[in-house]
Structure 1
Amino acid sequence: MTGASPLRGRTAVVTGAARGVGEQVALALARRGARVALVGHEEAGLARVAARCRAAGGTAHPWPADVTDEERMRAVAREVGRRLGPASVVVANAGIAAGGPFDRTDPATWRRIVEVNLLGSAVTARVFLPALRSTRGHYLQVSSLAAIAPSPMMTAYGASKAGVEAFAYALRAEVAHLGVTVGVARLAWTDTDMIRAAEEHPVMRELRHHMAWPASRVRSLDGVGERLARGIERRRPAVNLPPWLRAVRAAAPLLPGLVARHARHVLPRLDDADLAPTGLLGPGGAADRARTELEPRTGLESHSGPEPRTGA
């Protein structure tokens, strides 16, 4: 980077910040001089990312929270505003996934994916929108190739990602006259813990391996945070990683038929054991599962981040 970033001295909020894409974009924002609020389930992971941001010369503080818990998220928004300043950037990245046949997937697991990915994004936008209005800020919704090319065996994930894109487009039109901008970041297969966990399951591995190139390729996580941060700086309405997703988006009406044809060739090769539901994938899925098995906590006083800031 050359010159001062427009994000320097601004407050940025990143959900799902304990690992993966959330961690990378938080680091990129911190390097640009933003004060970063890290939101997510995994307290140890958030603390680790905060330390990495500080080692990179930035400022970051953790706020453990479940993005589907609106009361807690409202408390997070108040605490972030009081201690770091009103949010100028909000990155709605928190997400979970599972694989397996729709009719064999635990209904509670299916519902939870939609709750976190879609309703959690709506909660995030709702609680931080007053701050974004006051700063004329930018909201970035992280989406997926699955929003435009839904894969069999991932019905909840595809439905939730298509939903967050529609939500982001509608919100963009609703808040444009207020000076608030809304972007969508669309990612293909990226080398995160969730994708690596998916590769351990035969049905997920076979479906990806038989996709047409380059859709079958797993992209490195390196550089993803920087690309998203540049998109935020420039208030881009869409960031496609990799760039060929722009062309895929244009071909969206053709994709359901192509995916169905592909699935008809792949799925009959798999036996019943291969088609077993995966459950929530990766460490993030495990953290969400553990969280929802506990009694919900109220308030934030024991998890409220740094001391109040002094000065501007």
Structure 2
Amino acid sequence: MSHGNPLAGRTAVVTGAARGLGAGLVRELAGRGMRIALLGREAETLARVARELPVESRCYEVDVTDDALMERTARRVTCDLGEPSVVIANAGVAEGGPFVTSDPRTWRRVIEVNLVGSAVTARSFLPGLLTTRGYFLQIASTAAFGSAPMMSAYCASKAGAESFAQSLRAECAYQGVGVGIAYLHWTDTDMVRDVEAHDVLRELRAHMPRPARKVYSVEKVASWLARAVLHRSATVYAPPWLRIAQPVRPLLPLLVARTSARILPRLAESGPLPATGLLGAGGLADEEGRSR
């Protein structure tokens, strides 16, 4: 390990690494000299990302909700690349639409991947992190505290993931393992781009204050998160100005409810509000993976 770069030569595990922010994170961490374990549903896409990396890397096709598979994968990572020093629970899916007409299986899948999958990731790799006194980063969202209509599963899952990470932080601190939470807003991923393809979600986003509508590049967000990994930060906000939203968290649900009360009746005049299904190419890959 380089004294000038504490990440160099260490092993990082990133779930949801085939595309979007996950792929951006592995590129950023590889650029800082880390060996990379790429976990995800899409073997070929993972391999394409890995081929671009300037460091040793391995790809593992997994479903993050599968306890037994994730435990086996954790053992393989240790055998292939060494005990992990950084684990990032990034895998996530989303769906939109009215809760009352949502497909129960799709709704439940969002909870399973975003919340249960994060816990399975932590459970599987925590023995390695205890050995290295490493760092676990939970990818959350402003949805954890600014719950939006038509996104009930996603908001519930991210609020749960935030609470899980806070509990894990308190539990593991005395053992030298750091736990961070990343609060992301609009990032230029397939999932977010798919939001624009659905009229209701696009309209709801359009009524946010202008600064809150800005979409940030994957590269920019990944760089913010990589700095958090370097410093073992308890929290990281992407963009950084989101930090100012924390003190007013109790007010946000009221503001969202008032805005929704104005917008949703008008949107419903043209007919029933549709469900989106799982959003983005990552959502499609998850559906295809479960059908195999």
Q: TM-score, normalised by structure 1?
A: 0.91
Distance 1:252 1:243 in 2: 16
For residue 239 of structure 1, the aligned residue among 198, 212, 236 is: 236
Is residue 2:172 matched to residue 1:157? Answer: no
Encode CA deviations 1:180-206: one digit per residue, 9 max, x unaligned: 000001100111000001110001100
Q: Which runs of 4+ in 1 moved over 4 A?
A: none
Deviation at 1:59, TM superposition (A): 2.3
Is residue 2:42 matched to residue 1:42? Answer: yes
Distance 2:192 2:50 in 1: 24
For residue 180 of structure 1, the aligned residue among 163, 177, 183 is: 177
Q: How does 1:280-299 map to 2 (within 5 A)?
A: 280-294=278-292
User: Does the 8 Å contact 1:203/1:274 carry over to 2?
Assistant: no
Report the AA paired with residue 129 of structure 1: L
Q: Which runs of 5+ in 1 are unaligned?
A: 295-312
2:249 counterpart residue number: 252
User: Does the 8 Å contact 1:202/1:274 carry over to 2?
Assistant: no
User: Does the 8 Å contact 1:91/1:140 carry over to 2?
Assistant: yes
1:20 counterpart residue number: 20
User: Does the 8 Å contact 2:187/2:217 carry over to 1?
Assistant: yes
Question: The residue matched to 2:85 in structure 1 has which SS?
Answer: strand
Distance 2:223 2:214 in 1: 20
Distance 1:210 1:279 in 2: 23
Distance 1:237 1:113 in 2: 25
Encode CA deviations 1:244-299: one digit per residue, 9 max, x unaligned: 211112210000000000101111121355710000001000001111122xxxxx
User: Does the 8 Å contact 1:211/1:262 carry over to 2?
Assistant: no
User: Does the 8 Å contact 2:14/2:37 carry over to 1?
Assistant: yes
Identity over aligned residues, as a percent? 54
Q: 1:4 to 1:124 in 2, by over 3 A?
A: same
Q: How does 1:1-312 map to 2 (within 5 A)?
A: 4-53=4-53, 57-271=54-268, 273=271, 275-294=273-292
Report the AA paired with residue 225 of structure 2: L
Deviation at 1:3, TM superposition (A): 7.9
Distance 2:272 2:226 in 1: 39
Question: The residue matched to 2:91 in structure 1 has which SS?
Answer: coil
Question: The residue matched to 1:176 in structure 2 has which SS?
Answer: helix
Distance 2:17 2:170 in 1: 27
User: Does the 8 Å contact 1:144/1:161 carry over to 2?
Assistant: yes
Question: The residue matched to 1:152 in structure 2 has which SS?
Answer: coil
Encode CA deviations 1:200-236: one digit per residue, 9 max, x unaligned: 0001100101112211222222322121111101101
Distance 1:227 1:4 in 2: 19
Distance 1:222 1:140 in 2: 17
Question: The residue matched to 1:94 in structure 2 has which SS?
Answer: coil
